[in-house]
A and B are shown apart, each in its own frame.
Chain A
């Protein structure tokens, strides 16, 4: 009997480790032979821990399982049965390209990885020239999934053409945006996919060394990635001769230290070098003078993990999904006060309203949706009146927002948007690296100005708007430059929350 209990942090947070122990205990006491696989998460976080049992009808799921439910799961008599997992509408409706194996396979079995399409992309890439690999990635239309949306192939081409005795691939796994967990889920659920993506990137641009800068808040992901790198090295996927090709690529996992700004690529590079995570001015571009001043590809986890499927199935296949200049699929992360929270990979183009209401099922509290923050702490708050916005880089930009790392945080009508705007400024003040004045000082003044508005001083509103303009135009990086997005969107769409008198009258 084969039973799957996820090892994903979200499943563990809901008690998966206790369930896994209970499965083994119950199997021992019954004297039955159970193979327990600690898989990744299927992404249906509200069902976690989601236990699956392999049957002749496929893998059958049991949702929200506690240790006490385990005997019923083993008997097949549990009333928490969900039927075949892949038939659950939330799962069935997805287009899983990057997350194809997450939740399906044993994350630390390279054999399982290869049996489910893994390494196909790398094998193809090893037979191609660097130029041809970069061309394939460029043609796929893949853009940076970390949030900036810069075309991945163009970045690679710059590094490929750069002169340098040593080049690097740096994976940005400093997923600090609230509402996002795709990087974590991928690293915990399919670590070889990221390793394969990094190896392809290294071979394409001529880099022999890679680093994953992984945030310290993700101890489970750190554990899985380290174990996967050890296995990959042992099995010849990493090392002096990748899969026996004679081409070298190796990588290390480096742990961050709790600074949000290190998700910004130049700050990340300084941190990786052992310095304060202060932002660097650009130019020079990291592609030319990155880690240790050498040519460096800096890509987000999901960008790199999307490369294997692009190489395996071709640029045209990937490019066929999507909308406008947003090609391929995007792993939406639906979070906050939402009924069906989790990860949903689909082609670009679904409207915000469909994501929140149809896929997410509305709020968990059952109250009306008030706002959705898209793209993390630097993303705008969207009101329900903008629910017709299709999910795409340009489409969100046109509405004064951004898709960022594709996290969506849903708020119900009890949310106080002035408080959320204040939090955005407060967070920026705490996390500012301090290099540029608009961010370092502006965020502090922003908190004070919003407090003035809260005390009923409406004359501070134009001041706040002016301050936001200065931060937007004058900051060195997205932390100071984008903090105005949540602040201004809150002010624009929810003016009543900023009007102390109106609020008192309502109360």
Chain B
């Protein structure tokens, strides 16, 4: 899929931008809102954002690429983030990551061949006393292991 959208989408982009123009430092809120709307930040959104904020497209690109959260391409239907930070490592995160790669059918940073699951590392979900932890479509899960992840994968593919 390319990062371009149609005419209807460009109206949605403009509406999203104008909702946030009154804020001090509106760029991150705009990028978050566009991503919430489309699932990623389409290439088509960059020029109107730059114009509305009176900055260059390069500056918008620079900000987008600085932060891990912003996507330039749509993710899979489900997003699984698995914590790789120290506290989870102490509780067996390496095994959990290996199990996740196996049950979801993709390596970290990738999307499964059927497009169902994007698997990403995350560095701390603040669930450090019930690790290894994960976040599945925005919902937190503690003590993840192959059994728990397998159940989640099965539900996603049901």
Contact = CB atoms under 8 A, between A and B. Distances in A.
B31 A178 contact: no
Interface string A229-273: 000000000000000000000001011111110000000000111
B86 A423 contact: yes
Contacts of A183: 126
Contacts of B127: 9-10, 13, 181
Contacts of B27: 274-275
Contacts of B67: 256-259, 277
A342 interface: yes
Contact of A334 (B32, B70, B124, B129): B129
Interface stretch (B8-16, B132-140, B149-157): B132-140
B90 interface: yes
A323 B67 CA distance: 40
14 contacts: A9-B125, A176-B124, A181-B129, A183-B126, A217-B125, A217-B126, A256-B69, A274-B27, A292-B25, A336-B86, A336-B90, A377-B86, A409-B90, A431-B123
Interface in A333-367: 333-338, 341-342, 364
Contacts of A176: 123-124
B91 interface: yes
A97 interface: no
**Top-10 shortest CB links A-B:** A341-B129, A274-B27, A178-B85, A336-B90, A13-B142, A335-B128, A257-B67, A258-B68, A45-B129, A181-B126
A255 B28 contact: yes
B138 to A, nearest CB: 5
B68 A259 contact: yes
Interface in A421-449: 423, 427, 431, 433
A103 interface: no
A291 B128 CA distance: 31
A2 interface: no
Interface string A6-43: 00011011100000000000000000000000000000
A135 B114 CA distance: 62
Contact of A275 (B63, B89, B133): B63
B29 interface: yes
B75 interface: no
A373 B86 contact: yes
Contact of B130 (A219, A252, A341, A433): A341
A10 B130 contact: yes
A150 to B, nearest CB: 23
Considering residues A183, A291, A341, A410, which has the most beta carbons from chain B within 10 angstroms of its beta carbon?
A341
Interface of B: 23-29, 31-32, 53, 62-63, 66-70, 85-91, 122-131, 133, 135, 138-143
Given A178-B86, A217-B125, A274 B26 contact: yes
A216 B120 CA distance: 15
Interface of chain A: mostly helix, strand, loop or mixed: mixed
Nearest to B60: A274
Contact of A178 (B66, B124, B138): B124
Contacts of A277: 66-67
Interface of chain B: mostly helix, strand, loop or mixed: loop
Contact of B123 (A14, A260, A411): A260
A499 B144 CA distance: 33
A333 B124 contact: no
A415 B68 CA distance: 28
A455 interface: no
A229 to B, nearest CB: 14
A180 interface: yes
Given A10-B142, A220-B140, A420-B89, 4 more contacts: A10-B129, A179-B86, A179-B87, A336-B131
A335 B142 CA distance: 13
Given A13-B133, A176-B124, A217-B124, A274 B28 contact: yes
Contacts of A373: 86
A175 interface: yes
A253 to B, nearest CB: 10
Contacts of B28: 254-257, 271-272, 274
A48 interface: yes
Nearest to A431: B123
A321 interface: no
A177 interface: yes
A67 to B, nearest CB: 15
A415 B127 CA distance: 20
Given A219-B138, A276-B62, A407 B125 contact: no
A180 B131 CA distance: 12
A91 interface: no
A251 to B, nearest CB: 12
A184 B135 CA distance: 15
Contacts of A257: 28, 31-32, 67-70
